[in-house]
Each structure stands twice: as C-alpha cells, then as structure tokens.
Amino acid sequence: MSDRLSLLLDSLHCRGRLYELFSQIEKEFEALYTENIALKDKIDVLNEQLEREPATVIERTDTFESGETTAVKTKGKRESITASQLSQKIKSTYKLKASTSRIVSTFKTPSLACRLFKEYVGHRDGVWEVSCSRHGPQLIATASADYTAKIWDIHSGGCIVQYWGHKGSVNSVRFHPSQDLVVSSSGDQTAHVWSVSSTGNVSDNLKYHSSEEEVELSEEDHGDDTESSHNIAILKNAKIELQGHIGVVIAADWLAGGDQVITASWDRTANVYDVQTGELVTQLVGHDQELTNTCTHPTQRLVVTSSKDTTFRLWDFRDAIHSVSVFQGHTNPVTSATFASGDKVVSGSDDRTVKVWDLKNMRSPLTTIRLDSPVNRLAVSNQNIIAIPHDNRHVRLFDLNGVRLARLPRSNRQGHRRMVCSVAWSDEGRNLFSCGFDRLVFGWRVTFPNKDDTKLSITKAGKE
C-alpha cells in the first residue's frame, strides 16, 4: 500500500513539474511572439520611411580629398587607403542604383492614398466578415463570433440594427441586391434571411432600445462606443430560416435577381434555396473537403465556391441544366474567390498567393501575386483594385496585373491588431472596409493622387 502511495505521489510530483515546465515554455513563446511583433512594426516603419524618401543622385568626383589613412587587410597584404577615398568609393557604388531608382520611379503607377475615416465599435468577439449595401442608404453589415450580425451607418459609425437570431457564430452577412433584406450564415448549421428597414420603421419583430441598456464594454473593449448616442433595433426573428446542412454554414450569398440564396458549408456541399419558400432547390456536390466561402456574380447567374481542397469551382446557372468548372492552381486551401469585371475571377489562398483567372481559360492564371502571409476574404472594386486581407494584420492593394498600389496604414495607433478576416468595397470604390479577429471594423478612404500633379512630377524628374 505504501509503495502504491509513493508511486502516486511521485506521479503527481512529475505531473506538476511537467505543467510548470510547459507553463514556462508557453511564457517564453509569448515573449518571443511579442518581441517578433514589435520587430515587425519597426521594420514596417523603416520601410515606410524609405518609401517616402526621394531618391537622390550622388555626383562622383575624380579627385579625392586627403584624409586620415586606414589600413585594410586583403589576403595577407596590407593596403593603405584614406578614409575619404573609402567613403567616395562607397558613394560611387550607390550612384548607379540611386540613378536607376529615380528613373524607374517616374514610370511607376501612381500609388493610392489611404486614410482611416471611421471606426465601428461594438462587437464582443472576432468579426469574420464585412459587406456593403448595394442600394439605398450607405450601410455596412458585419458578422461576428459573438453570435450577432450588425448593420451600421457608414458615415455616423452608429449601429442601426443588431440581429440576435443565430445560435452560433455568424460567419457571413450579405445584402440583397435590390431589397432591404440580408442573408447571414452561422455555425448553427443554418442561414437566415431577415428584413432590415433602412427608413427607420419598426416591424413586428424589431424592438428599439438605447445602447445604454446593453452590458457595458470594458475600457479595453472601447467603452467609448459611438453607439451610445444612437438607438439600436434588436432583431431576434428571421423572415426565412434555411436548413439542410449538417455542418457549419461558412458563407451565404444572393444569386443575381435575388430570388435564390446559395450557402457553402463544412459538410462539403453548397445548397441553393428559394427565398420565398425556403425550400432547397438543388445541392451542389463535388468538393473533396470543407467549403470556405461562396460568392455570386453581380449580374449573371454565376457562382464560385472555394474549398480547403485547394480548388475553387465555377457553377453556371444560366441554362436549365447547370454546369461546373474546376480551377486548380493553389497548393493550400482556397480561402475566397470573387468576380472581377471582364469575365475574371480573383482567388486567394493560404499558400500566400492571389491569382487572377479568365473564365474562358481555367488551365492557368493570368496573374499570380506572391505575398508574405496567408490570404483571407479578399474583395475587388469596380475599378478592379484587389484588396487583400492577411493573417499578419495588413491589407494590401493590387491591380489585376499584379502591380502593388498601396498598403493600408498600420501602427500602434491605428489599424488592426490581429488577423484581418475580410474586406469590402463600397459601390463607388472610394471606401474600403476591413474587419478582424481583434473585434475591430474600420472604414478607409482610398483615393488616387491628382493626375496633373503626377504628370508634373514626371516632367520635373525628366528635366533634372
């Protein structure tokens, strides 16, 4: 008996010691992670400073000034040169590089100017998706892991409607193309269609109350919420509940015309529902692993579904019998695929690439953009600017040819603090919205520089 007790005590002591060691290792990893983040911030600041500094041409002189001599060892021989000569040689080495950079900079596409204009605060957990209204007042919708979806006024930053109908994380939310309807998808294996009155009228299942009635946010969670001066409509009942999946519904969107909704699920299928009846119209089968997103064409009955099986599929519903095309080219899960003008599709992946495809040629991409971090739910503007959200807290902007246009400002004072999950463009393409796992939603103003100023700077550079 005593031997067993002794063994038990030894086992408990070893287990306690292991827990202690694991705790120390975890703390060391956290410290290294924090240090790594700080170093990345410093590197970003230095890169931004270098980008802002104008290239200068260093004139080379044939005569060297006399100065202090310096001894340099080379292969056992001692060569005596002056410090000023060494300095001049270093300057001469950079002359060609500086001159070339200056010439090349005159041919660069004008960068986009990006500035933060609004912050939307109120979610209590990570925000998975943000989307923009397609008609009427300018609104954005957000889907969060806190089981809610919110509708926000773009300009005031206030929350207008809060939807509490789901019993799980809300993974996506999309506006109807022409009506005051929204479809949201959730981890509760359903998608909900609910009505939002943009005029402020209260429907039967809407209840208005002051945001002060809600649980107060801590200072860390931005307790100075701009919602405090607004009334919020609490919506708890869906107009239509779409059922049929046996896994998480990761995304849902409206087909062109708005009479049908497509859902994408972790059960490896996509379902098409009739919005009026809520009945399942057809089930799309073919992906080998969980779906990650779905997106519809704005004017044609075309749908793309992306998956962890490293592919995305194009489903064509324009004919009575739908057809499907498989796009292969990524080496890791495809996190999103969306349509761009000119019969193009842009896909993003965990393999740290974004690819631009022509719908008429699915064998190889037109453009491949290589990046330094996995890509989340990207968006393409009407001006064909690709906004790419990353795991590393950055959002980068490219054109369809793969030319980098800008990066959204990010520092300790502004920008996302954790993974950026999704981005969305407003219809006019001037406003970009981003959301992240840090519970934050930002509105960014994106503008092109003055074309006349660009031409003037090119002319001046050519004369110098």
Closest CA to 268 of 309, 301, 297, 304: 309
Contact 350, 374 (CB under 8 A): yes
Which residue type, as a one-letter code, is found at position 282? T
Closest CA to 445 of 411, 419, 412, 406: 406
Question: What is the CB-side half-sphere exposure of residue 352 using CA atoms within 13 A?
Answer: 7
| Angle ∠(222,228,232) on CA atoms, nearest 5 | 115
The predicted structure's pLDDT at residue 337? 98
Pair type for strands 181-186 and 311-316: unpaired
Contact 175, 220 (CB under 8 A): no
Q: Which two tokens stand for residue 251?
A: 């995304």
Pair type for strands 420-425 and 431-436: antiparallel
Question: What is the CB-side half-sphere exposure of residue 32 using CA atoms within 13 A?
Answer: 6
Query: What distance in Å separates the CA atoms of residue 268 and residue 399, rounded to the nearest whole number?
Result: 32
Query: What distance in Å separates the CA atoms of residue 301 and residue 305, rounded to the nearest whole number?
Result: 13
Helix, strand, coil % over all residues of the chain, rounded to 5: 20, 40, 40
Q: What is the pTM of this model?
A: 0.71
Contact 324, 286 (CB under 8 A): yes
The count of residues in the chain is 464
pLDDT string in tens for the chain (464-residue length) = 667 767 767 777 777 777 677 777 877 776 776 677 677 777 777 766 665 554 433 333 333 333 443 343 334 444 444 555 555 554 554 444 444 444 443 344 547 899 999 999 999 999 999 999 988 789 999 999 999 999 999 999 999 999 999 999 999 999 999 999 999 999 999 999 999 874 443 344 444 443 333 333 333 444 444 444 457 899 999 999 999 999 999 999 999 999 999 999 999 999 999 999 999 999 999 999 999 999 999 999 999 999 999 999 999 999 888 999 999 999 999 999 999 998 999 999 999 999 999 998 888 999 999 999 999 999 999 999 999 999 999 999 999 999 999 999 988 778 999 999 999 999 888 999 999 999 999 999 999 775 444 333 323 333 33
The predicted structure's pLDDT at residue 149? 98
Closest CA to 116 of 445, 448, 359: 445
The predicted structure's pLDDT at residue 135? 83
The predicted structure's pLDDT at residue 446? 93
Query: What distance in Å separates the CA atoms of residue 184 and residue 115, rounded to the nearest whole number?
Result: 29
What are the CA-CA distances from residue 390 to residues 38, 44, 112, 294, 421 (Å)?
A: 18, 15, 19, 19, 7
DSSP state of 189: S
Query: What distance in Å separates the CA atoms of residue 236 and residue 243, rounded to the nearest whole number?
Result: 17
Query: What distance in Å separates the CA atoms of residue 165 and residue 253, rounded to the nearest whole number?
Result: 18
Helix (H) or strand (E) holding 8: helix 2-52
Helix (H, G, I), strand (E, B) or coil at 27: helix
At which residue do the structure tokens 């931004």 appear? 48
Query: What distance in Å separates the CA atoms of residue 105 and residue 281, rounded to the nearest whole number?
Result: 55
DSSP state of 228: G
Beta strands in 266-365 (DSSP E): 269-274, 280-285, 291-296, 302-307, 311-316, 323-328, 334-340, 344-349, 353-358
Q: Which two tokens stand for residue 338?
A: 């969306």
Contact 381, 87 (CB under 8 A): no
Closest CA to 294 of 333, 338, 326, 257: 338
The predicted structure's pLDDT at residue 231? 76
Query: What distance in Å separates the CA atoms of residue 80 and residue 72, rounded to the nearest whole number?
Result: 6
What are the CA-CA distances from residue 165 to residues 148, 168, 188, 236, 250 (Å)?
A: 8, 9, 10, 5, 16
The predicted structure's pLDDT at residue 18? 75
Closest CA to 123 of 99, 93, 109, 143: 143
* Strands of the 385-389 sheet, one edge to the other: 379-380, 385-389, 395-399, 404-407
Query: What distance in Å separates the CA atoms of residue 424 and residue 429, rounded to the nearest whole number?
Result: 10
Number of neighbours of residue 392 by Cβ within 10 angstroms: 17
Q: Which two tokens stand for residue 59?
A: 């004139």
